[in-house]
Chain A
């Protein structure tokens, strides 16, 4: 996998296409999301692109009442750590109408465009 496939830019371009692009270590099989350049488990730099299905459950979450300036228009909004079925986790906006979803709640990825920018978001499955 070249550097072009494991950049932050490639991850967000994937989101625009409705794809959750991470990577897989060819040496040990470890999956990673977002994509990295060096394997977190074995240190190998021999990685390939891997697309995640975008389904999982809430690991833990919160409802934000004092938001970043960029998110003021959607406040209060929820964010959380989502444990994906493949075993890796990722941060995402949680589309729950400002409600707190308990750990273990099933969610699936949606890709929310916010002006020119795209945000990884999850909604209850």
Chain B
């Protein structure tokens, strides 16, 4: 039985990240990106913070072993951060690595063992070409029973989309509206990989080919947006990115030493589903999202209706639609419609991914869950600039590993 309360309350007192990008970090290793993010997190602490003040490090890194030929990255980072001899733990849960690391770090504080810890994640993906990255990401699925039959990672979500279309009559045009919205949001985020709207991108790409597009859909239906795994095209998929993110967690008691306006962790949850998609009775839902969010809502004493802003795991457009249903924001089968109607936009009733989401902000796998917390730290303190969700008091993060075999959810408040 999951406890409804944590013994010690947990706050976020600082948060930082590198820009997520496919080119600008080419000269750096994961260690340099992570230290950069951690130093920014320390600098964001209102009353000052040295990384040496932290008592432990929890690091999400999916596949340093393959991407960088470097293992034992927890010890590497804590050393490079000047935090030695403090203990360091690497958490690997595919794309949910740092979302789970946040939970583990929060539980370490809740246990009473530590007052302050650093939690974060990093991924250096661009050392490999797209084919090698595709192979590496497929390791997060069941390598023997899914990838061995030809399933790529986009292929798994394409199957979820096929099932969702078939069951609920949702459409690719609805998915496209998720991509359009996330690019609009990303255009207001200086840390995003893509800071252009889809029409701006269409204009540039079209110019090179001598083509003009009337609207987003005309561009997205064109050959400039090739199929990756039907019905998912390139702009339904998040990009390959390098980047890092870090947050500083503290007990409520010591948080005031660091800031007068901490962000409170109100609830957390985590669940697992079958490793292989084929072992699930219902392909249109990620059961682990539903279970993890129920735990987090219960602990927070907040329901889906009480959430003002959410960062969800839109590794593919269909994933955002499914998440918006599984988290209880919209009825099952209605997530696509809600997105197409603009209800998840910045001015909508349930703003999702104000930071541009994985689609526009980028998705350095191990950094994504922590980067969602960075956005919540800004949104709930009213520091999100042009993409600020008005009166945001309660925020939710949902970080998914692979096709939902791991899901971590947190609910934050002011």
- Residue B228 CB within 8 A of the other chain: yes
Residue-wise interface mask of B (162-176) relative to A, using a CB-CB cutoff of 8 A (1 in contact, 0 not):
110010000000000
- Residue A60 CB within 8 A of the other chain: yes
Task: Provide the residues of chain B in CB contact with A34, threshold 8 Å.
Answer: 144-145
Task: Provide the residues of chain B in CB contact with A66, threshold 8 Å.
Answer: 130, 134, 152, 154, 228-229
B152-203 interface (Cβ within 8 A of A) = 152, 154-155, 158-163, 166
Give the most central of A72, A81, A90, A93: most B CB within 10 Å.
A81
B149 close to A92 (CB less than 8 A): yes
- Residue B348 CB within 8 A of the other chain: no
Residue-wise interface mask of A (52-75) relative to B, using a CB-CB cutoff of 8 A (1 in contact, 0 not):
000000011111111111111010
Count of chain A residues with Cβ under 8 Å from any Cβ of B? 36
- Determine, out of B116-124, B212-220, B276-284, B380-388, the stretch whose residues face the partner at the interface: B276-284
Task: Provide the residues of chain B in CB contact with A63, threshold 8 Å.
Answer: 227, 229-230
Task: Provide the residues of chain A in CB contact with B229, threshold 8 Å.
Answer: 62-66
- Residue B132 CB within 8 A of the other chain: yes
Other-chain residue from A11, A71, A72, A103 in contact with B163 (beta carbon distance below 8 A): A103
- Residue A91 CB within 8 A of the other chain: yes
- Residue A119 CB within 8 A of the other chain: yes
- Residue A102 CB within 8 A of the other chain: yes
B150 close to A77 (CB less than 8 A): yes
CB of A12, distance to nearest CB on chain B (Å): 8
CB of B272, distance to nearest CB on chain A (Å): 13
Task: Provide the residues of chain B in CB contact with A89, threshold 8 Å.
Answer: 278-279
Known: A80-B159, A103-B162. A64 touches B150 (CB 8 A): yes
Known: A34-B145, A100-B230, A103-B163. A64 touches B152 (CB 8 A): yes
- Residue A113 CB within 8 A of the other chain: no
Complex Cα spacing A120 to B216, Å? 39
Q: Which residue of A lies closest to B159 (CB)?
A: A60
A16-35 interface (Cβ within 8 A of B) = 34
Other-chain residue from B145, B148, B150, B159 in contact with A67 (beta carbon distance below 8 A): B150
B254-304 interface (Cβ within 8 A of A) = 276-279, 283
- Residue B226 CB within 8 A of the other chain: yes
Complex Cα spacing A61 to B130, Å? 23
A68 close to B278 (CB less than 8 A): no
Count of chain B residues with Cβ under 8 Å from any Cβ of A? 37
Q: Can you list 29 residue pairs at the A/B interface with Cβ under 8 Å?
A: A8-B145, A34-B144, A34-B145, A59-B163, A59-B283, A60-B159, A60-B283, A62-B159, A62-B161, A63-B227, A63-B229, A64-B158, A64-B229, A65-B227, A65-B230, A66-B152, A66-B154, A68-B134, A68-B152, A69-B132, A69-B135, A71-B150, A72-B131, A79-B159, A89-B279, A91-B151, A91-B276, A103-B163, A119-B150
Task: Provide the residues of chain A in CB contact with B367, threshold 8 Å.
Answer: none
Complex Cα spacing A45 to B279, Å? 18
Task: Provide the residues of chain A in CB contact with B162, threshold 8 Å.
Answer: 60-62, 100, 103
B149 close to A119 (CB less than 8 A): yes
Task: Provide the residues of chain B in CB contact with A70, threshold 8 Å.
Answer: 135
- Residue B146 CB within 8 A of the other chain: yes
Q: Which residue of A lies closest to B147 (CB)?
A: A68
B149 close to A93 (CB less than 8 A): yes
CB of A112, distance to nearest CB on chain B (Å): 10
Complex Cα spacing A90 to B232, Å? 22
Known: A62-B229, A91-B277, A103-B163. A68 touches B283 (CB 8 A): no
Task: Provide the residues of chain B in CB contact with A77, threshold 8 Å.
Answer: 150
Task: Provide the residues of chain B in CB contact with A90, threshold 8 Å.
Answer: 145, 278
Complex Cα spacing A92 to B150, Å? 8
Give the most central of A34, A72, A119: most B CB within 10 Å.
A34
Task: Provide the residues of chain A in CB contact with B161, threshold 8 Å.
Answer: 62
CB of B132, distance to nearest CB on chain A (Å): 7
The 6 closest A-B pairs by CB, nearest first: A62-B158, A60-B163, A60-B162, A89-B278, A63-B230, A81-B278
A81 close to B149 (CB less than 8 A): no
- Residue B405 CB within 8 A of the other chain: no
B279 close to A68 (CB less than 8 A): no
Q: Which residue of A lies closest to B231 (CB)?
A: A62
Complex Cα spacing A125 to B228, Å? 27
Complex Cα spacing A103 to B182, Å? 30
A62 close to B155 (CB less than 8 A): yes
Task: Provide the residues of chain B in CB contact with A72, threshold 8 Å.
Answer: 131
A91 close to B149 (CB less than 8 A): yes
